[in-house]
Amino acid sequence: MDGRAASLTITDKIPYFLEAGIEPIVLSAITGLKDQRFQHYQYIAWGPSGFRFDFRHWVANKYGRGWFYKLTTGMVSILLAPLIAIEKLCLGYSSQWSWSIPAFIHGYILIRRGKVDVIYSIGSAWSAHLAGVWLKKATGLPLISEVHDPLVIRKDPNDQGFEKPKNRDARFRHYLEAQLCKYSDYVWWFTQGALHYAKVRNPNLNTSGSAVGFVVMPGANPPGTIDKADTHQYSEYLNLCHFGSLANDRSLSIILKAANSLFSKYPEASKHLRIHAYGAPLDSLSQAAIKQYGYSDILLAHGRLERDPVTGMSGREQVAQKMQQADVLILLHGNDEWCAEYIPSKFYDYLWSGRPIWGITHRNPQLDQMLLDRKSYVSADGDELGIAMALERIWLDWQQKQLIKPVWNPIGVDQAVSSILSHIASLKAVS
């Protein structure tokens, strides 16, 4: 799926797996494009809420979001509403859970036909891991699991994640993490924090008869044509650009608040500062801040960049172009406790741009160090004074045309694949 972080984390690895002699058979949802390089099967979720979600994306991809989309998706939503209500009442899981059923059935058939040697579950969506565990139990084939986001969401620094959540979906994810640590042969997370807390909850991890757990830094391939030369041109505007999703716990409102302080001290800055949001609608806090301060000309929302039929550029290629044109790239980490176990995937794309990054982070020493090693502006989420001071420094640096020159040290996907294969190879040799 063009520009979707979870999809890119998977598809960027494929060329390196192929080069290593691995022949993938991919089972995925129908919401993305079908890969023609290998066997790729796409399945729609069987549950009513999952079916509705997948159907909407399928129609939008095939016919756009015009009248046909509104008509067909509206009818399907009405027809499925009673079933969705029953599903939520009886199970209470997130909509994608039921994709596990067709994935398991078709995966089992492929395994019984002798087509599969190893099961590889990748999520993002936890339904992939559920299907992987089912297949492992049913067939005994080796299972390797790549966990993108923590399955157990802790509440605060003192919460280790032992308490069973009241929310049924969260409670099932808690159970599923334990299943992965028990039945996977190898399982990895994307941060040291995520691995640490998984070990705390699952002391059997890395013991005999259980999963071998480790960390893989996912990295990213260049998001488009990248010019390594420092050809950046300063214009009349200081352009701060944010790429990716926004939410009330990851909001540009904190930048607008800092901008308000900046304008009080440097009134001329209001004529030159522009904040651009690409990839998602503005969150409600950002919208409220725009109204509060009257900054509709300061914060500009551009939405998702889709494939351009005129130039033929994909959304990802356009994003790469916009990144390199930015003066400073904003990296919003969020303010939830799970930030200690999470690094925004957009960070790896940012590293390819060669532009300065302003990271506003939350309780993640690993991310802080990666930013500092590459010379970045770094602030702590919740530190309003520190954020205001960082924006002032950026403003003064820009005025002097001396913005930080970042260290060119992107993290590619090749190192992730090499790490995965070397871990498995070395551990097999020992066993």
Q: Residue 237: what are its φ and ψ, rounded to 5°?
A: -115, 140
- Please name which of 138, 147, 153, 139 lies closest in space to residue 186, comparing C-alpha atoms: 147
**For residue 284, which phi and psi values (nearest 5 degrees)?**
-65, -35
In this prediction, residue 428 carries a pLDDT of 59
Q: What single DSSP character describes residue 34?
A: P
Per-residue model confidence (pLDDT) at position 391: 98
CA distances from 104 to 107, 136, 138 (A): 5, 10, 10
Give the whole-angstrom CA distance, residue 344 versus residue 218. Answer: 11
pLDDT tens per residue across span 197-246: 999 999 999 998 889 999 999 999 887 667 776 678 999 999 999 999 99
Amino acid found at 262: L
pLDDT tens across 14-55, in order?
999 999 999 999 999 998 889 999 999 999 999 999 999 999
Decide if 320 contacts 225 (C-beta within 8 A): yes
The pLDDT, as a whole number, for residue 117 is 95
Give the pLDDT score at 4: 66
**224 DSSP 8-state letter:** S
Per-residue model confidence (pLDDT) at position 109: 98
Sign of CA dihedral 150, 152, 153, 154: negative
The β-bridge relationship of strands 25-29 and 377-380 is unpaired
**At 200, which amino acid appears?**
V
Return the pLDDT at 128: 96
pLDDT at residue number 314: 82
Going by C-alpha positions, the residue among 119, 147, 134 that lies closest to residue 216 is 147
Q: Evaluate whether 280 touches 346 at the Cβ level (below 8 Å).
A: no
Mean pLDDT, the chain, rounded, equals: 93
Domains of the chain: 5-40+95-221+415-430 (3.40.50.2000), 44-92 (no CATH), 238-399 (3.40.50.2000)
Largest Cα–Cα distance of the chain, in whole Å?
71
From the list 181, 100, 170, the residue with the least C-alpha distance to 147 is 181
State residue 313's pLDDT score.
84
What predicted TM-score, i.e. pTM, was given to this entire model?
0.91
Residue numbers in the chain where pLDDT is lower than 70: 1-6, 224-225, 229-230, 426-431
Helix, strand or coil for residue 134?
A: helix
The pLDDT of residue 5 is 67
What is the rounded CA–CA span in Å between residue 376 and residue 284? 28
